[in-house]
């Protein structure tokens, strides 16, 4: 008999010959599981278009075995599900963690339909088709399962040959259960991921509701009708009036900016003009001082001209070598108008005496 190892006791239990032959035949089969996407030139396929038809035994793996790595033809099939409404970076980061849990992972993403979501959670912004397409174009997704179940059943796990389920570790209470992943955790198939703080679908919807007037005004301005936005007649008029006020504010703001720019240019030019005027004035003052200053060229020129005039009015003395005609050597040839110039006559009589002496002298020379 052929013995198969007992997982609990470690001892072998006998197998029938038919079971042994079936086991050997199954071991000879090769895995034909779909491989992870290597290129991103096309969206991820849907599960009903590319289901796993592998006939090889899909043995159960432990988390430790999966982290050590599996053969290339036997990727670890990881499943992540959700609503994925208003697909955002928090969703993408969760899927990235699920994809990189193991060295060789094939990520299947289940998206719940509108009927299930509206029944157990509430109304969505995006319909199911839009949510399917959003997941197909995420780089970490290898396959999308449409109309995924709200609670995972053994039949669903077996059908898609799911090894592990990835989700954040916070208990998810829904559909009358405190935690819809409780049985998955008990089976050792649950692998936790971390939530991204600061971003969620509820946060985005809260922002839209908080700023509803802003978005309604913007969409009215872009051409949407009040009926499409579910806006009343009075609110429509109010929003359109506010849009007109905003346009006027924008125009005033543009005018203010242009006027500020003009004033700045004028100030800049006036500053340049003042600077040039100061330079020219300094140059003018310097030139003026060079001409009319204490030591300027005008003073020197005036002194030179005054000296020339004095020389013109006062003839030069005759040279010492000139002959004297009957004049005593001791007598200096001074002009008659310079005689007694230093000491003017003190009285009319003295003046007449000097004139008589000058006439006598002239007669002597004659």
Which residue from 121, 140, 117 is spatially nearest to 130, judged by alpha carbons?
117
Buried/exposed 182-206: b ≥16 CB within 10 Å, e otherwise: eebbeeebbbebebbeeeebeeeee
* Ramachandran sector of residue 340 (left: φ over 0; alpha: ψ -120 to 50; beta: rest): left
The pLDDT score that the predictor gives to residue 290 is 74
The pLDDT score that the predictor gives to residue 263 is 83
- Pairing state between β 2-5 and 12-15: antiparallel
Report DSSP state, residue 111.
Answer: E
Report DSSP state, residue 44.
Answer: P
Give the phi and the psi of residue 79 in degrees, each rounded to 5: -115, 135
Q: Which element (helix H / strand E) includes 14?
A: strand 12-15
Q: What are the angstrom distances between the C-alpha of 70 and each of 7, 61, 73, 106, 137?
A: 20, 10, 8, 12, 27
The pLDDT score that the predictor gives to residue 148 is 96
The pLDDT score that the predictor gives to residue 108 is 97
pTM of the model: 0.60
Q: What are the angstrom distances between the C-alpha of 83 and each of 97, 101, 129, 190, 313?
A: 17, 21, 12, 19, 123
Rounded Cα–Cα distance for residues 140 and 157 (Å): 21
Q: Does residue 189 contact residue 160 with C-beta atoms inside 8 Å? A: no
For 184-313, strand residue ranges (E) read 190-193
Structural domains of the chain, ranges and CATH numbers in brackets: 63-197 (3.40.50.620), 202-296 (no CATH)
- Pairing state between β 190-193 and 2-5: unpaired
The pLDDT score that the predictor gives to residue 172 is 84
For residue 144, the tally of other CB atoms under 10 A from its CB is 28
Per the listing, tokens 């997704």 go with: 141
Q: Does residue 93 contact residue 70 with C-beta atoms inside 8 Å? A: no
Q: Does residue 238 contact residue 214 with C-beta atoms inside 8 Å? A: no
The pLDDT score that the predictor gives to residue 79 is 98
Rounded Cα–Cα distance for residues 80 and 192 (Å): 10
Q: Please, which residues have CB within 8 angstroms of residue 289's CB and are 6 or more apart in sequence?
A: 296
Rounded Cα–Cα distance for residues 292 and 307 (Å): 19
Write the pLDDT tens digit of every residue in 183-236.
Answer: 999 999 999 999 999 999 999 999 999 998 888 888 988 899 989 888 888 888
Rounded Cα–Cα distance for residues 218 and 227 (Å): 15
Q: Which element (helix H / strand E) includes 255?
A: helix 233-292
Give the phi and the psi of residue 80 in degrees, each rounded to 5: -135, 135
- Spans of the chain, pLDDT less than 70: 1-28, 175, 296, 315-366
């Amino acid at each position: 008999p052929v013995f198969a190892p007992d997982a609990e006791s470690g001892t072998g239990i006998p197998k029938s010959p038919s079971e042994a032959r079936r086991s050997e035949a199954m071991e000879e089969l090769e895995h034909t599981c779909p491989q992870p996407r290597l290129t991103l030139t096309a969206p991820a396929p849907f599960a009903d278009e590319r289901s796993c038809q592998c006939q090889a035994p899909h043995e159960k793996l432990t988390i430790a075995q999966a982290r050590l790595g599996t053969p290339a033809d036997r990727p670890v099939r990881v499943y992540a599900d959700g609503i994925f409404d208003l697909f955002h970076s928090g969703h993408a980061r969760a899927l990235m963690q699920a994809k990189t849990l193991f060295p060789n992972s094939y990520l299947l993403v289940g998206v719940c339909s509108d009927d299930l979501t509206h029944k157990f959670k509430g109304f969505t912004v995006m319909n199911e088709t839009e949510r399917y397409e959003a997941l197909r174009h995420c780089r970490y997704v290898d396959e999308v399962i449409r109309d995924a179940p709200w609670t995972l059943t053994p039949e669903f796990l077996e059908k898609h040959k799911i090894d592990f389920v990835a989700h954040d570790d916070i208990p998810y209470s829904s559909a009358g259960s405190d935690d819809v992943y409780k049985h998955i955790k008990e089976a050792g198939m649950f692998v936790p991921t971390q939530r991204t703080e600061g971003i969620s679908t509820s946060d985005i919807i809260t922002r839209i509701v908080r700023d509803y007037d802003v978005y309604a005004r913007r969409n009215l301005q872009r051409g949407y009708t009040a009926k499409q936005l579910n806006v009343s007649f009075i609110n429509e008029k109010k929003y359109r009036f506010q849009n007109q006020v905003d346009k006027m504010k924008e125009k005033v703001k543009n005018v203010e900016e242009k006027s500020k720019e003009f004033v700045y240019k004028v100030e800049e030019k006036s500053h340049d003009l003042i600077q040039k005027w100061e330079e020219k004035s300094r140059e003018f003052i310097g030139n003026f001082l060079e001409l009319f200053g204490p030591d300027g060229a005008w003073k020197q020129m005036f002194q030179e001209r005054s000296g020339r005039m004095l020389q013109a009015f006062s003839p030069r003395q005759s040279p010492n070598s000139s002959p004297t005609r009957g004049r005593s050597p001791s007598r200096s040839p001074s002009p008659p108008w310079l005689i007694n110039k230093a000491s003017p006559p003190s009285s009319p009589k003295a003046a007449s005496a000097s004139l008589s002496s000058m006439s006598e002298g002239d007669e002597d020379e004659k």
